Amino acid sequence: MHKSLSILVVAGIATIPFASAQNNAQSTNLGEYKEVKCSTRAEFTKNSCNQCFEGGQVTIGKKKTDLFDNWTNNTKTIATAYKDEQKTPSMIAINSKWNSAPTKESDVWVYDSDVAWTPTTGGKKNFVLTAGRKVRFWKSDIGAGYTLASTDKKAGELVGILRYPVVFKTTDLSTGKESAAKTHYECVAYTLDKKQAVTPPKDEKKPPKKEETPPTENLTKSETGPAETLILIVAAFFIAFGLMISLRKRS
């Protein structure tokens, strides 16, 4: 009974088109991230990352676009993703501020054209990936992405982790039963560009402005105007005239 059921399950799977996933498995190596052990960063473990990558350096103010994630079925059976169970990727800021464009983060992401959602008899849409196959699952929409707005991290330090979730179920080929949904998190770490000055520029301290002291007035000097000068001349004339008369009387 189990053997015949297994044949039926495989036959049912064979009717689902896998061409796009198989072709994509050979064409998505370009631009892929460098895979590392999740134990290399504590933040990977903290964010429940199952598969980890280094995404390289980012620069403050420069938008990062053309993002994508490949999903590889590392199980020994088929994996089925249901569209209504999926969660969109998200940027996890590490002591930093990131801005997404569009502002609503879920609008940054779309499914790759290689992910062909197939309607099921139950009304749901699914995508089936056979064992060992790989497909580009998520990608950022045209012009969409993330910008590092600010950070207090130093050059070369971690500023963010882009976490890609894929929710899927595996099928027991001997019984045809699906497992409970599993969420596979692929995480990409980004560090601050080493070429970038990370410390905020210090305020240039201008030397204190020298207060110009007004010239001291010569208090002993009396300033005279035209009227005062005329009075002095007249007074001097009368004094001189008086002295002349006085001298004549004596002589």
Domain boundaries, the chain: 2-192
Rounded CA separation 30/153 (Å): 30
pLDDT at 23: 40
- Please name every residue paired with 53 in a beta bridge, in sequence order, or none if there are none: 35, 188
CA atoms within 13 A on the CB side of 86: 23
pLDDT at 1: 45
Rounded CA separation 41/72 (Å): 22
Nearest of 138, 169, 162 to residue 71 by alpha carbon: 138
168, 133 in Cβ contact below 8 A?
A: no
Instruction: Enter the tokens of residue 192.
Output: 């601050």
pLDDT at 26: 37
pLDDT at 32: 83
Q: What confidence tens digit (pLDDT) does each residue in 81-134 have?
A: 999 999 999 999 999 999 999 999 999 999 999 999 999 998 999 999 999 999
pLDDT at 20: 39
Give every residue of the chain whose pLDDT is below 70, as ranges: 1-30, 196-238, 240-251
CB count in 10 Å sphere of residue 250: 6
The per-residue b/e assignment along 22-36, b for 16 or more CB within 10 angstroms, e otherwise, is: eebbeebeeeebeee
Reported pTM: 0.68
